[in-house]
């Protein structure tokens, strides 16, 4: 019997599902597909009028993977 078993300390965000899907897609993406995924994320950023921190985080993750790939 856990003291905190039924408590949820983090509020569920409406874009959380989108962010989870993006993270899964980034993590399961082949190295060859990173450029097209980056273009897809940048297009979504342009499509939304305001800056989405989820999309910006996803863009940072992809560019980091691309930089890592190019440094080898």
Q: Is residue 24 part of a domain?
A: no
Q: How many CB atoms lie within 10 A of CB 65?
A: 17
Q: Is the pLDDT of residue 4 over 60?
A: no
Q: What is the pLDDT of residues 5-62, one digit of tens each?
A: 554 545 445 555 767 888 888 989 898 899 999 999 999 888 886 778 888 889 999 9
Number of domains in the chain: 1
Q: Is residue 17 part of a domain?
A: no
Q: In which domain, by residue range, is 42 found?
A: 34-72
Q: Is residue 22 part of a domain?
A: no
- More confident site: 1 or 35: 35
Q: pTM for the full model?
A: 0.70
Q: Is residue 43 part of a domain?
A: yes
Q: Is residue 8 part of a domain?
A: no
Q: Contact at 8 Å (CB) between 40 and 25?
A: no
Q: What is d(CA 70, CA 20) in angstroms, rounded to the nearest whole number?
A: 26
Q: Is residue 56 part of a domain?
A: yes
């Amino acid at each position: 019997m856990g003291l905190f078993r039924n408590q949820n300390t983090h509020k569920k965000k409406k874009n959380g599902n989108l962010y989870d899907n993006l993270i899964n897609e980034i993590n399961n993406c082949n190295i060859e597909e990173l450029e097209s995924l980056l273009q897809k994320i940048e297009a979504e950023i342009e499509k939304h009028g305001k800056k989405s921190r989820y999309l910006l985080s996803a863009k940072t993750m992809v560019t980091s993977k691309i930089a890592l790939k190019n440094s080898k």
